[in-house]
Amino acid sequence: MKKKYKVEVDCAACAAKMEDAAKKVDGVADASINFMAAKMTVEFEDGVDEIDTMKKVLKACKKVESDCSIEF
Amino acid sequence: MKAKHKKTIVRIVIASILTVALAFNPFNLEKEPLFFLYLIPYVIIGYDVLIKAVKGIRNLQAMDENFLMTVATLGAMALGFTYTGDYNEAVAVMIFYQIGELFQALAVEKSRTSITKLMEIRPDYALIEEDGELTEVDPDDVEVGTTIVVRPGDRVPIDGIIISGTSSLNTSALTGESIPKDVSEGDEILSGCINLSGVLKVRTTREFGDSTVSKILDMVENASGRKSRSEAFITKFAKAYTPFVVASAVLVAVLPPLFLIIGGSDPEIQQWVYRALTFLVISCPCALVISVPLGFFAGLGGASREGILIKGSNYLEALAGTEIIVFDKTGTLTKGVFEVSEVRGTDIPEERMIELAALAESSSPHPIAGSLIAAYGKEIDRTRVTSVEDVPGMGVNATVDGIRVSVGNNRLMEKMGIQCDESDHLGTIVHVALDGSYAGSIVISDIVKEESKTAMEMLRSAGVKRTVMLTGDRDSVAMAVSEEVGVSEYRGNLLPGDKLLELEELMGESSERGKVVFVGDGINDAPSLVRSDVGITMGSIGSDAAIEASDVVIMDDDVRRVAVGIGISRKCMRIVNTNIIVTLIVKFGFLGLSLFGLVDMWLAILADVGVMIAAVLNSARALRYNSGIEGPKFQADADIE
């Protein structure tokens, strides 16, 4: 299951950090951020709750980049 | 502008005023107490950078610009406290850095909004009728085969077939065509179109994710995900560059004083530390890191405004190096609309010939079949046709009303051992044999697109060395068309498989860095599209296979846009390369100068922010390109009037 989310982030380097952080979250099979389009694509592992996982993703991202946001 | 950016402006203004006021030292303080007063503007302007630097260290990702700025400014503050009493520089560096960051964020946001206009074709909801009531649902949740309702003014959310209602559709977001298309029951309808007049009920044939509009948006959104060589270079460069500069700065601060001590003279520690800190300020790689992807993004956006969807900046880069362009004739240089112009050499009535040929070809997807059916002009009764055998690249054998009908080119006739009339008549000749004996031929001619000739001239003046036309048609037809269009070479008489071989041969002939581009209509040419350096399809929106196989999709079928695409890519690459070269010259120049103490921190931060702003402004130019083609622009705001 792949889904796209709108993200808010100001610099390309921060987006790369968030991408790395999101990939390490449990339930996330893969994640990528397209900085210019301001879109995050998350591929979930089978059977995980998307909203729950996205909450964890946001938390992980906030840790590396405090003023980012993800709409989900 | 977002609240966050407004807050930054307020911080910049307050910190600047405080710093200017403190610079006059109104209380005539010594340097130690002054330090604490300067801490106020310093913290106001720099607290987020400091916090991020600390976090970076904690997350073991220390080597970023926040870290550089923190070390440089804290170092300068420390120097002021211990030696000089000058704190202005430290605060000023932070202020200018924040101005640069703000500018960068605004520039990115601005180009995002001007490009995401195209993305406004995304439908927000689908309407489903339940118990006589309309409910809005997320298009993602609509299953295949559901009936959705599209009201006038709505955007069609999902591909499907109309089951009731008639209306006209504005398809300009997909095809650039400004004349509304009339549709009624039974017609296929593509998502992304706008329903103009009547209420339509549509049975969906695809999921939202597989619908045309999603496919287009995916392409645009994922485009900047495929990195060009320049981008890959910058990423690598930035990774190696920052640690390199930090290490150099440490050496600058330590080595010279060490030598001076050994040499028995004054180590001038303060001076060398200052030079090392200046080094750090200059080293910030922001100008490159932001301007290169921004340049590509603007280039991709500029192209999509012209109806040219490029799947990634790597293809934009390749397109700029186009040396040979290979065109599939039918559907790209010609309209691909064939009309029966003559029936020859037959004793049976013309209508009967066309009827038999049309029925035999009735299940073939080839354009020739379409023109035969059009010339026949009556309802096709498929029950009259049996045992259809398709001979690829040659034609069709089928039994119609009990007669074995063979319809195809001279190769088909040769294969069957039938003598046929070789003539040099222009157009495609379809030979017909009935029960194994020759019955005559039908001449079908294709029409050359009006803009093809101009397109070839545009390509030549853009510096494309060779334009090659490939066709399955006879040499005489190929020659006539190639002369009319003005391509530099042609290859005729090709079987579908031969086109790929010809393409590979041309790729072998191209120079090492020269790229070979293949332009086709997406029908039967997927192998060539994939094999070429850049595969371009035209006018094939709605065909999954074509969009899948190609690297560039031209939304309408105007062949001049191929030249426009190359023009945009060349302009974009020029801009990106200028940015890289100028930035590197300025950076390394200033690094060298600072080593000899010729640059102070003021100049260093001004150069850093200045070159970044210049590069960003330069990048934004890639968005604007005057193609000279009148007609529709592919923007969502153009189609809602």
The whole-number pLDDT of residue B641 equals: 30
Q: At B202, which CATH number?
A: 2.70.150.10
B79 contacts B273 by C-beta, under 8 angstroms: yes
Residues B551 and B466 in one domain: yes
Minimal Cβ distance to A67: which of B4, B61, B112: B4
Mean pLDDT, consecutive 10-residue stretches, chain B (641 aa), reads 86 94 85 90 93 83 80 92 87 92 85 69 82 84 90 90 90 75 89 88 89 79 74 80 86 90 84 90 79 87 86 91 92 80 79 87 80 84 86 87 88 84 70 86 83 92 92 84 91 86 92 92 83 88 78 88 94 94 91 87 89 90 79 45 30
Residues B364 and B502 in one domain: no
3 state SS of B474 = coil
Question: Is B424 labeled as catalytic in the residue annotation?
Answer: no
Residues of A in contact with B55 (CB under 8 A): 63-64, 66
B321, part of any domain: yes
Beta strand pairing status for B437-448 and B334-344? antiparallel
B289, part of any domain: no
Residues B187 and B149 in one domain: yes
- In a 13 Å sphere around the CA of B627, the CA atoms on its Cβ side amount to 26
- Interface confidence (ipTM) of the complex: 0.79
Secondary element (H or E) of residue B162:
strand B160-164
DSSP B450: T
Give residue B611's identity as a one-letter amino acid code.
Answer: V
Residues B312 and B397 in one domain: no
Residues of B in contact with A37 (CB under 8 A): 112, 116, 220-222, 224
Residues of A in contact with B116 (CB under 8 A): 37
For A16, the token pair is: 């790369």
Residues B352 and B431 in one domain: yes
Q: Catalytic pick from B328, B473, B556, B639?
A: B328
Helix/strand/coil (H, E, C) string of B588-636? Answer: HHHHHHHHCCCCCHHHHHHHHHHHHHHHHHHHHHHHCCCCCCCCCCCCH
CA gap B217, B214 in Å, rounded = 5
Minimal Cβ distance to A36: which of B64, B289, B293: B293
Domain count, chain B: 3
B370, part of any domain: yes
B89, part of any domain: no
User: Domain limits of chain A?
Assistant: 2-71
Residues B414 and B486 in one domain: no
Positions of E strands within B246-358: 308-310, 322-328, 334-344
CB-based contact B220 A37, cutoff 8 Å: yes
Residues of A in contact with B51 (CB under 8 A): 66
B237, part of any domain: no
Residues B369 and B465 in one domain: no
B557, part of any domain: yes
Contact status of A69 with chain B (Cβ, < 8 Å): no
Q: At B329, which CATH number?
A: 3.40.50.1000
- Which of A36, A62, A69 to probe the B interface (max B CBs under 10 A)? A36
B477 contacts B499 by C-beta, under 8 angstroms: no
Residues of B in contact with A64 (CB under 8 A): 55, 59, 61
DSSP A49: -
> Directed axis angle between helix B269-283 and helix B65-79, to 10°?
150
Residues contacting B320, CB < 8 A, separation 6+: B566, B569, B570, B572, B573
Residues B322 and B365 in one domain: no
B307 contacts B176 by C-beta, under 8 angstroms: yes
CA gap B23, B419 in Å, rounded = 101
Contact status of A32 with chain B (Cβ, < 8 Å): yes
The whole-number pLDDT of residue B336 equals: 73
CA gap B448, B485 in Å, rounded = 8
Contact status of A11 with chain B (Cβ, < 8 Å): yes
Residues B318 and B457 in one domain: yes
Positions of E strands within B345-421: 385-391, 395-400, 403-408
B118, part of any domain: no
Residues of B in contact with A10 (CB under 8 A): 101, 104-105, 108
Alpha carbon of B53: minimum distance to chain A alpha carbons (Å): 11
Range of the domain at B497: 308-334+448-571
CB-based contact B112 A13, cutoff 8 Å: no
Alpha carbon of A36: minimum distance to chain B alpha carbons (Å): 7
The whole-number pLDDT of residue B460 equals: 92
Secondary element (H or E) of residue B148:
strand B147-150
Residues on chain B bordering chain A, Cβ-to-Cβ distance under 8 angstroms: 4, 48, 51-52, 55, 59, 61, 64-65, 101, 104-105, 108, 111-112, 116, 220-222, 224-225, 238, 289-290, 293-294, 297
The whole-number pLDDT of residue B317 equals: 93
Q: Is the pTM of this model over 0.80?
A: no
B221, part of any domain: no
Beta strand pairing status for B322-328 and B466-470? parallel
Residues B496 and B397 in one domain: no
The whole-number pLDDT of residue B637 equals: 41
Q: Please state which CATH number belongs to domain A2-71.
A: 3.30.70.100
Alpha carbon of B430: minimum distance to chain A alpha carbons (Å): 49
Residues B416 and B465 in one domain: no
Residues B139 and B211 in one domain: yes
Q: Give the chain B residue whose CA is nearest to the CA of A34.
A: B225
- In a 13 Å sphere around the CA of A35, the CA atoms on its Cβ side amount to 23
